[in-house]
Amino acid sequence: MVAASQDNQHQSIVEQHSRTARAQRDFDSRCKLLRHRLAEEDFLSNKGIGNEVGFFTFCYDPSLELQARAFFDRIVKDSQAGKLPCTVKVVNLYDVFLQLLEEKRILKAVPKQELKTGMAKQLKQLQKIASPEAFAKKILELTKPHEYRDVIVITGVGEVYPFCRVHDLLNNMQADFASVPVVIAYPGTFNGREFRLFSTLASDNYYRAFDLSEELQ
């Protein structure tokens, strides 16, 4: 019995190491692919995607969040230094969320209000203020004007769940972001139809975007 238990434990450790190594390899490949796409004329001009809006997902394992942040910081600096033929504009959704609450002058009152009304009621109230429409409007405000060779990168998806969900946000961004490619840094998976935040929380809604990692499959 002891030997069997030790074997199972060893197998579990090996499997975990294998998953971790695979996630790292996939992440490294996606980073290289995105840097390559950021230098492609068709990508920067939103060509070659038919009549679809240029929304692209950059999926990664949630355990690599810090690496993802460092990577996007790096490509912003590279674009500013002229190492990339584009201008990368990063918008963090949690920062947008805080700005929306601050503009309504309720940010400081949120903790006390949650204790008073409860988390469920507080969530409903905040979702009315920080709606997908409000998020999309603020992102537009932060990134305009949209010029040729601009690339918008959306981060902080996991930080604003469940206040804002990706499929709702993208639906509200379509009309105003058709001229520039938008990359969504997504800590989870996307199969071309369904988002799974943290690879476990499934979205109930269909959305059509383009997975930047499709070339790796």
Per-residue pLDDT at 181? 94
Backbone φ, ψ for residue 3 (5° rounding) = -65, -40
**72 contacts 203 by C-beta, under 8 angstroms:** no
pLDDT in tens, 10-40: 555 555 668 889 999 999 999 999 999 999 9
Per-residue pLDDT at 217? 44
pLDDT in tens, 39-68: 999 899 887 566 677 899 999 999 999 999
Per-residue pLDDT at 63? 93
Q: Sketch the domain layout of the chain as residue ranges.
A: 2-100+131-216
Per-residue pLDDT at 212? 76
Among residues of the chain, what percentage have pLDDT more than 70? Answer: 78
Res 215 pLDDT > 70: no
3-14: average pLDDT: 56
Tell me the CATH class for 2-100+131-216: alpha beta
